[in-house]
Amino acid sequence: MRAVVLVGGFGTRLRPLTSSIPKPMLPVGHVPIIERLVANLARGGVVEVTLALGFKPEPFLEAFPDGHCAGVALHYAVEPEPLDTAGAIRFAADHAGIDDTFVVANGDVLTDLDVSAMVAFHRSRHAEATIHLIGVPDPSAFGVVALDADGRVERFIEKPAPGTAPSNLINAGTYVLEPSVLARIPVGQKVSIERATFPAIVADGGLFAMATDDYWLDTGRPEYYLEANIDIAAGRRRHDRCHPVHPDALVSPDAVITRSIVGPGATVAAGALVTDSVLLTGASVDTDAVVADSVVMGRVGAGAEVRHSVLGADGVVAPGEHVDGVKRPDPDAS
């Protein structure tokens, strides 16, 4: 089985982290999101993945120089301009020569979904397209479906206004598609699978959906990116594990690290306290500083306090400074 993984978004909501690293290359438990995602596809029977890239393929080429990721052969389809989700799927599938049932995944989703079970479900329903669903308390930030008893999708609504969603079941960003879906997508045009293609397949009765209660997270916002890291450290994933403090991190024996991930090369000085946070490569936390509920790639000065914040590679909190809820450098400043 072949797959297309969508990795062409700009990662806007994860800035300033994504100013230096594309979203799918950000590590979760020391391993890039894309590698954890591809590993799960491989467990489900996927042997070849085409990355649908909108821009900047270089970080991927550098990370996977032999053209393999998690044991799977990787190909790159670089769009001349961002074509949105369906346009990107068409472009990548044409690039890879896909002409059989295939899998698509949003590149920012981490899940323990059994993809082979989803393919079996898809075949049992003779579906044209099948989407994975997860139940969430507030579905308004996602694609939402109404289903019949057989799993046939009756409505697909992308990001409904709060309070108007027909159910709590959301599009979890993994699809099984027949090649006939490709014929619905015009070549070289910006088309959204969520807003155009899925509603068209619903109208023809060919869209099905399989709900599961597997681990699932869209890492596309800082609070969820943080959660994805903490979850893996806490052993909440079915297959994935990691040592919270990487062996190549430089942590003083007089620092306290709780429920946090510390990446290779990150430094934590004596007396520092790090809780519920992620320190990425490049992070330094100086003497007696406090870091809580934050993601840090930059520098935290001695005695500083950083809470609910995101520091990119060039983000600095001065010695003794206290910050809460900041992003540095400010991604909205020009």
Interacting residue with ligand GDD among 3, 7, 226, 280 (CB under 6 A): 7
Kindly state the smallest distance separating residue 47's Cβ from ligand GDD, in Å: 21
Does position 22 interact with ligand GDD (CB under 6 A)? The reply is: no
Kindly state the smallest distance separating residue 96's Cβ from Mg ion, in Å: 22
Kindly state the smallest distance separating residue 300's Cβ from Mg ion, in Å: 28
Identify what 214 binds: Mg ion, ligand GDD, none; CB under 5 to 8 Å per kind: none
CA distances from 43 to 47, 114, 161 (A): 9, 8, 36
Q: Contacts with ligand GDD: how many residues (CB under 6 A)?
A: 27
Burial class (CB in 10 A: 0-12, 13-18, 19+), 115: buried
Does position 142 interact with ligand GDD (CB under 6 A)? The reply is: yes
Residue type, 113: L
Kindly state the smallest distance separating residue 6's Cβ from ligand GDD, in Å: 4
Kindly state the smallest distance separating residue 6's Cβ from Mg ion, in Å: 9
Interface positions, 160-189, toward Mg ion (CB under 5 A)? none
Binding mask 95-134 for ligand GDD (x = CB under 6 A): -----------xxxx-------------------------
Phi and psi of 122, rounded to 5°? Answer: -55, -45
Give the CA dihedral 280, 282, 285, 290, nearest 10 degrees: -30
Interface positions, 257-286, toward ligand GDD (CB under 6 A)? none
Q: Kindly give the residue spans of alpha helices, DSSP state H, lying in the chain.
A: 33-43, 58-63, 84-96, 115-124, 180-183, 198-203, 222-233
Interacting residue with ligand GDD among 40, 85, 174, 212 (CB under 6 A): 85
Q: Which is nearer to ligand GDD, 64 or 175 (CB)?
A: 175
Does position 220 interact with ligand GDD (CB under 6 A)? The reply is: yes
Does position 108 interact with Mg ion (CB under 5 A)? The reply is: yes
What is the strand order of the sheet 295-296 is part of? 261-262, 278-279, 295-296, 310-311, 327-328
Burial class (CB in 10 A: 0-12, 13-18, 19+), 105: buried
Which residues, in sequence order, are bridge partners of residue 48?
Answer: 2, 73
Does position 145 interact with ligand GDD (CB under 6 A)? The reply is: no
Does position 214 interact with ligand GDD (CB under 6 A)? The reply is: no
The residue behind tokens 């397209």 is 129
Cite the beta strand spans of 123-218 per DSSP E. Answer: 129-135, 143-147, 153-158, 169-177, 207-211, 216-218
112 dihedral zone (left: phi>0; alpha: psi -120 to 50; beta):
alpha
Identify what 283 binds: ligand GDD, Mg ion, none; CB under 5 to 8 Å per kind: none
Does position 82 interact with ligand GDD (CB under 6 A)? The reply is: yes
Q: Which is nearer to ligand GDD, 181 or 251 (CB)?
A: 181
Does position 218 interact with Mg ion (CB under 5 A)? The reply is: yes
Q: How far is CA 297 from the centre of its chain?
A: 18
What is the rounded distance in angstroms from the CA atom of residue 73 to the CA atom of residue 270?
44
Structure tokens given for 245: 């403090």
Applying CB under 6 A, the residues found at the interface with ligand GDD are 6-9, 52-54, 79, 82-85, 88, 106-109, 142-143, 158, 170-173, 194, 218, 220
Applying CB under 5 A, the residues found at the interface with Mg ion are 108, 218, 220
